[in-house]
């Protein structure tokens, strides 16, 4: 693997930040985009790699790739409709570290030949699939880096659910990229938890007033969870404030139990909270607490996606304190969701001490059990995302 693939294998969720002036589905995005300036800004904002559209249908040229190469040392993906060895040679000479190969437009023999040509040129490849059949083709071709595009290039419709299912199917020995349809940190987190090593984001960044600032927002951690939601108005306030994860306690014995998972905005993820074992719900994620006799719930929990454990929730004992709580959380391996006693007053300090993947608050944000104090919800999210 070359440095493009190696950059995407780094720990945590990487982002391939894209430079494109227009999109066939969205029209003009940023006609005056300066690829040199944007590539440099993307690198400073934390991009693992930068994708540069070189096709005129997207307002791109090979000079855009050359300008990005001159301005930054970040790995570059040349993105276009490539079908010949000459295309790959041009990409290499223009400064690319990797090239896109679209299985939709290539038969297996051509794709196999291009994979070999790319290797000879010292280029990595991003082999892109749009459906299960194409993913299977990419696996059979032994492509080391696979992209799963949520956008149907014929209709331009986005199907994120199918994308995540395909990402989850890909073997863990491949580098897997979730492409298109990602507009929020929660969307990126969903791809990460499904098994993606990185996400490719283009239109969302190019539409933003400051593309690099939007990129920094997408890659920032921790995620912010507001839990114990029982009312639609509280869901709306938490989402508007910028919460990424919205939690609904489906344990009837809890003082803030909800009867079901309420609808959440598309830019967020719903989390169903259970004790003992997960049941059926409309949530994307399940948080399952251990059982402790005489208590509403046990101390800690596991976060699941589709039955697969994806994070550890490190909490306080029910209605008790523990002075070593943050230290214990900081020493926990893997993705950590820090919960227990967090609120606007201390969440920033907790984040600095623990460096969790997500933070979770519930009772400290209430006026009464299950009823949120909107001012405290906003203050908590603001403090956590500062």
Residue among 23, 51, 72, 79 flagged as catalytic:
79
Q: Do residue 213 and residue 231 come from a single domain? A: no
pLDDT grade, residue 24 (50/70/90)? confident
Residue among 23, 72, 149, 254 flagged as catalytic:
149
372 is catalytic: no
Q: How many domains does the chain have?
A: 2
Residue among 23, 51, 72, 128 flagged as catalytic:
128
Between CA 166 and CA 349 the distance in angstroms is 38
CATH number at residue 375: 3.20.20.70
284 is catalytic: no
What number of other Cβ atoms are within 10 A of residue 292's Cβ? Answer: 13
Residue among 18, 134, 192, 284 flagged as catalytic:
18
Domain boundary among 218, 253, 283: 218
Between CA 110 and CA 175 the distance in angstroms is 22
128 is catalytic: yes
Q: What is the mean pLDDT of residues 319-323?
A: 91
20 is catalytic: yes
The single-letter DSSP state of residue 257 is: B
Q: Mind listing the pLDDT tens digit for each residue in 149-172?
A: 988 766 778 888 999 999 999 999
Between CA 36 and CA 343 the distance in angstroms is 42
Domain boundary among 184, 199, 218: 218
pLDDT grade, residue 47 (50/70/90)? very high
Q: Do residue 177 and residue 237 come from a single domain? A: no
180 is catalytic: yes
18 is catalytic: yes
From 335, 1, 4, select the one nearest 200 (Cα to Cα).
Answer: 4
Residue among 51, 72, 180, 254 flagged as catalytic:
180
3-state secondary structure labels for all residues of 127-194: EEECCHHHHHHHHHCCCCEEEEECECCCCCCECHHHHHHHHHHCCCCCEEEEECCCCCHHHHHHHHHH
Q: Kindly report the pTM of this predicted structure.
A: 0.93
- State the virtual CA torsion across 323, 338, 228, 248 in degrees, nearest 10: -150
Q: Mind listing the pLDDT tens digit for each residue in 339-349?
A: 999 999 999 99
Q: Do residue 229 and residue 211 come from a single domain? A: no
149 is catalytic: yes
Whole-number mean pLDDT of the chain? 95
Q: Mind listing the pLDDT tens digit for each residue in 221-245?
A: 999 999 999 999 999 999 999 999 9
What number of other Cβ atoms are within 10 A of residue 334's Cβ? Answer: 9
Q: Do residue 214 and residue 276 come from a single domain? A: no
Domain region containing 357: 223-385
End-to-end, the C-alpha distance of the chain in Å comes to 37
Residue among 134, 179, 192, 366 flagged as catalytic:
179
3-state secondary structure of 242: coil
From 155, 159, 154, select the one nearest 179 (Cα to Cα).
Answer: 159
């Amino acid at each position: 693997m070359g440095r493009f693939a190696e950059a995407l294998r780094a720990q945590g969720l990487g982002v391939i930040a894209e430079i494109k002036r227009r999109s066939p589905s969205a029209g003009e995005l940023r006609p005056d985009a300066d690829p040199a300036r944007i590539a440099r800004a993307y690198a400073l904002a934390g991009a693992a790699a930068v994708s540069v559209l070189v096709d005129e249908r997207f307002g791109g040229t090979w000079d855009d790739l050359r300008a990005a190469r001159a301005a930054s040392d970040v790995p570059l993906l040349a993105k276009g409709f490539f079908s010949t060895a000459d295309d790959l040679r041009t990409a290499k000479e223009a400064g690319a570290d990797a090239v896109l190969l679209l299985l939709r437009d290539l038969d297996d023999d051509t794709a196999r030949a291009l994979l070999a040509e790319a290797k000879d040129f010292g280029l990595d490849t991003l082999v892109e699939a749009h459906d299960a059949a194409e993913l299977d083709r990419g696996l059979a071709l032994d492509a080391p880096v696979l992209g799963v595009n949520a956008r149907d290039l014929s209709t331009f419709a986005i199907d994120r659910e199918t994308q995540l299912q395909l990402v989850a199917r890909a073997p863990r020995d491949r580098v897997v990229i979730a492409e298109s349809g990602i507009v929020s940190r929660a969307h990126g987190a969903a791809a990460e938890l499904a098994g993606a090593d990185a996400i490719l984001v283009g239109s969302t960044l190019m539409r933003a007033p400051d593309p690099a600032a939007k990129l920094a927002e997408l890659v920032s951690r921790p995620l912010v969870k507001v839990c114990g939601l029982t009312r639609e108005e509280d869901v709306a306030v938490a989402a508007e404030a910028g919460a990424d994860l919205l939690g609904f306690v489906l344990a009837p014995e809890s003082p803030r139990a909800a009867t079901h998972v309420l609808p959440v905005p598309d830019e967020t993820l719903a989390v169903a909270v259970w004790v003992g074992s997960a049941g059926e719900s409309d949530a994307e994620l399940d948080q399952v607490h251990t059982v402790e006799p005489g208590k509403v719930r046990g101390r800690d929990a596991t976060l699941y996606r589709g039955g697969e454990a994806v994070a550890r929730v490190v909490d306080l004992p029910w209605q008790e304190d523990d002075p070593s709580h943050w230290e214990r959380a900081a020493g926990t391996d893997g993705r950590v969701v820090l919960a227990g006693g967090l609120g606007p007053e201390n969440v920033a300090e907790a984040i600095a001490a623990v460096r969790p993947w997500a933070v979770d608050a519930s009772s400290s944000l209430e006026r009464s059990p299950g009823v949120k104090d909107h001012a405290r919800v906003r203050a908590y999210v603001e403090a956590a995302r500062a």
